[in-house]
Amino acid sequence: QKEVEQDPGPLSVPEGAIVSLNCTYSNSAFQYFMWYRQYSRKGPELLMYTYSSGNKEDGRFTAQVDKSSKYISLFIRDSQPSDSATYLCAAVTGTASKLTFGTGTRLQVTL
Protein backbone atom coordinates (compact mmCIF):
# COMPACT_ATOMS: atom_id res chain seq x y z
CA GLN A 1 0.00 0.00 0.00
CA LYS A 2 1.34 3.40 -0.96
CA GLU A 3 1.65 5.88 1.88
CA VAL A 4 -0.25 8.52 -0.08
CA GLU A 5 -3.02 7.45 -2.45
CA GLN A 6 -4.53 9.65 -5.11
CA ASP A 7 -6.94 8.93 -7.95
CA PRO A 8 -4.99 9.57 -11.17
CA GLY A 9 -8.07 10.72 -13.09
CA PRO A 10 -8.32 12.24 -15.58
CA LEU A 11 -10.97 14.54 -14.21
CA SER A 12 -12.78 16.70 -16.75
CA VAL A 13 -14.97 19.61 -15.67
CA PRO A 14 -16.53 22.59 -17.44
CA GLU A 15 -15.19 26.07 -16.88
CA GLY A 16 -16.61 27.63 -13.74
CA ALA A 17 -17.18 24.34 -11.93
CA ILE A 18 -16.02 23.59 -8.41
CA VAL A 19 -13.32 20.96 -8.45
CA SER A 20 -12.65 18.56 -5.62
CA LEU A 21 -9.33 16.72 -5.54
CA ASN A 22 -8.64 14.18 -2.84
CA CYS A 23 -5.92 12.09 -1.25
CA THR A 24 -5.80 9.54 1.50
CA TYR A 25 -2.78 8.58 3.51
CA SER A 26 -1.86 5.69 5.73
CA ASN A 27 1.07 6.98 7.76
CA SER A 28 -0.20 8.45 11.02
CA ALA A 29 3.12 10.22 11.44
CA PHE A 30 2.34 12.62 8.59
CA GLN A 31 1.82 16.05 10.09
CA TYR A 32 2.15 18.50 7.23
CA PHE A 33 0.42 18.44 3.89
CA MET A 34 0.99 20.18 0.59
CA TRP A 35 -0.70 20.55 -2.76
CA TYR A 36 1.36 21.07 -5.88
CA ARG A 37 0.32 21.91 -9.42
CA GLN A 38 2.36 20.48 -12.26
CA TYR A 39 1.88 21.55 -15.84
CA SER A 40 2.90 19.12 -18.55
CA ARG A 41 6.66 18.64 -18.72
CA LYS A 42 7.28 21.17 -15.95
CA GLY A 43 8.32 20.95 -12.34
CA PRO A 44 5.73 21.05 -9.53
CA GLU A 45 4.68 24.40 -8.10
CA LEU A 46 3.50 24.69 -4.51
CA LEU A 47 -0.12 25.82 -4.26
CA MET A 48 -0.91 25.38 -0.61
CA TYR A 49 0.38 23.83 2.56
CA THR A 50 -1.20 23.18 5.89
CA TYR A 51 -0.05 21.94 9.25
CA SER A 52 -3.31 21.13 10.95
CA SER A 53 -6.77 19.71 10.50
CA GLY A 54 -9.35 22.09 9.12
CA ASN A 55 -9.57 24.41 6.18
CA LYS A 56 -7.11 26.87 4.70
CA GLU A 57 -8.19 29.23 1.95
CA ASP A 58 -6.14 31.14 -0.59
CA GLY A 59 -8.08 32.86 -3.35
CA ARG A 60 -9.95 30.24 -5.37
CA PHE A 61 -8.19 27.40 -3.57
CA THR A 62 -9.17 25.73 -0.30
CA ALA A 63 -7.14 22.97 1.31
CA GLN A 64 -8.85 20.72 3.80
CA VAL A 65 -7.27 18.20 6.13
CA ASP A 66 -9.06 15.62 8.25
CA LYS A 67 -6.43 13.81 10.27
CA SER A 68 -8.99 11.58 11.97
CA SER A 69 -9.86 9.95 8.65
CA LYS A 70 -6.46 10.57 7.03
CA TYR A 71 -8.08 12.46 4.21
CA ILE A 72 -6.91 15.62 2.47
CA SER A 73 -8.70 17.65 -0.17
CA LEU A 74 -8.14 20.57 -2.46
CA PHE A 75 -11.10 22.55 -3.74
CA ILE A 76 -10.86 24.88 -6.71
CA ARG A 77 -13.68 27.36 -7.16
CA ASP A 78 -14.60 28.96 -10.48
CA SER A 79 -12.25 26.66 -12.33
CA GLN A 80 -10.49 28.06 -15.39
CA PRO A 81 -8.90 26.37 -18.42
CA SER A 82 -5.57 27.56 -17.06
CA ASP A 83 -6.15 25.28 -14.07
CA SER A 84 -5.74 22.29 -16.37
CA ALA A 85 -2.75 20.46 -14.93
CA THR A 86 -1.80 17.56 -12.71
CA TYR A 87 -2.36 18.16 -9.02
CA LEU A 88 -0.11 16.35 -6.57
CA CYS A 89 -0.68 16.01 -2.88
CA ALA A 90 2.31 15.48 -0.63
CA ALA A 91 2.88 14.80 3.04
CA VAL A 92 5.77 15.01 5.45
CA THR A 93 6.25 13.64 8.94
CA GLY A 94 8.18 16.65 10.13
CA THR A 95 8.75 20.02 8.56
CA ALA A 96 12.31 19.13 7.59
CA SER A 97 11.46 15.64 6.38
CA LYS A 98 11.29 14.44 2.82
CA LEU A 99 8.09 14.83 0.82
CA THR A 100 6.00 11.76 0.03
CA PHE A 101 3.90 12.38 -3.06
CA GLY A 102 0.66 10.94 -4.33
CA THR A 103 0.49 9.87 -7.96
CA GLY A 104 -1.25 13.07 -8.99
CA THR A 105 -4.69 13.75 -10.48
CA ARG A 106 -4.85 15.09 -14.00
CA LEU A 107 -7.46 17.85 -14.29
CA GLN A 108 -8.90 19.16 -17.54
CA VAL A 109 -11.08 22.26 -17.45
CA THR A 110 -13.01 22.64 -20.67
CA LEU A 111 -14.54 25.76 -22.21
The residue count of the chain comes to 111
Q: Which of residues 24-63 bind other proteins (CB under 8 A)?
A: 32, 34, 36, 41-46, 49
Strand partners, 14: 110
Burial-class residue 93 by CB neighbours within 10 Å (0-12, 13-18, 19+): middle
1 binds other proteins (CB under 8 A): no
88 binds other proteins (CB under 8 A): yes
The residues that touch other proteins, with contacts defined as CB under 8 A, are 6, 8, 32, 34, 36, 41-46, 49, 88, 92, 95-99, 101-104, 106
